[in-house]
Structure 1
């Protein structure tokens, strides 16, 4: 009487591994031939396009590839206003719109609006030097707007609500 034990999983795995090794040894080994052709040129100490690039360089290449340079120049005027015109001037005015080369700047008071109108050539030359000559060609400075007493679609000429004061 033979005592047959059920095969253990480790015995099955061992037998499969030995069979695979025997089949691999029976096959002829391929010979390695060197294929004649161009070899990869290593970049060496210089950077190439395959190497990791700084983020700023990648953004610049994306801006030039997508032709976004005009939009980034306009964004530079609004984003770096205090750096471009100086902290003193930027503390008393802010740019509002830029359409067709005309930059609308709103001053905090009429005195600062007058001062900025006198400084307009200097401000324009600073903007041309930093951003480019074709982005801002004209500077229009306005003072603060006064509150309006007009309420609703209809109004009556005259002094308005101050009429009833006396």
Structure 2
């Protein structure tokens, strides 16, 4: 059977003391015990933050300012401005021109506008430079480099029982 455990630890202390005395009698030098470790708190290194008289990122922000910053960071500003201006298409080109044309695509500085007829497309091509200037004033410089006006698409003569080889009749269809 095992010996009963001494909860005070006196027996263990006396055994260590006896072993130390015996070791010193025989010339054995025991290493000195390390000083007891005290738990250290991790050092916190913070930049000193002080509140100032001017607003900073810690202050409450207005939702419009936050959304504008998100739009700027994501690069959406040009697209949003373009959609806003295209909603105002009648103001830019006039009511009569807006009835016969509509912007359909924008990519790499080129705005594509579909017109009801080739006559309207031709008439609007004469005012293209003025329209580019108006768009760039509203959107920011060099947003729109060119405006292309397209007339209606002609019917295809390539299908059907009586289709003809070649380009087919030449007409403006509009």
Normalising by structure 2, we get a TM-score of: 0.53
- 1:134 and 2:142 aligned: yes
What is the aligned partner in structure 1 of residue 131 from structure 2? 123
Instruction: Specify the SS of the correspondent of 2:152.
Output: coil
Please identify which structure carries the higher helix content. 1
Residues 5-42 of structure 1: CA deviation (Å, up to 9, x unaligned): xxxxxxxxxxxxxxxxxxxxxxxxxxxxxxxxxxx969
- Structure 2 Cα separation of the partners of residues 116 and 89 of structure 1: 8
Q: Which runs of 5+ in 1 are unaligned?
A: 1-39, 161-166
Mapped partners of 2:76, 2:64: distance in 1: 15
Are 1:146 and 2:150 matched, yes or no? no
TM-score by length of 1: 0.56
8 Å Cα contact 1:84-1:130 kept in structure 2: no
Q: Note if contact 2:115-2:152 (Cα within 8 Å) is conserved in structure 1.
A: yes
CA distance in 2, matches of 1:73, 1:159: 41
Structure 2 residue corresponding to 1:100, chosen from 104, 108, 117: 108
State whether residues 158 and 165 of structure 2, in contact with CA within 8 Å, keep that contact through their aligned partners in structure 1: no
Greater than 4 Å deviation, 4+ residue runs: 40-43, 46-49
Distance in 1 of aligned mates of 2:120 and 2:67:
38
Rg comparison, structure with higher value: 2
Q: How many residues align?
A: 119
1:126 positional shift: 0.7
TM alignment of 1:54-73, pairs within 5 A: 55-73=63-81
* 1:111 has 2:100 as partner: no
Q: Where does structure 2 lack aligned partners over 5 or more consecutive residues?
A: 1-49, 169-174
**Equivalent residue for 2:165?**
157
What are the within-5 Å matches in structure 2 for residues 30-41 of structure 1? none
Is residue 81 of structure 1 aligned with residue 89 of structure 2? yes
Offset, 1:78 = 3.6
> Per the alignment, do residues 51 and 151 of structure 1 end up closer, same or farther by CA in structure 2, a change over 3 Å counting?
same
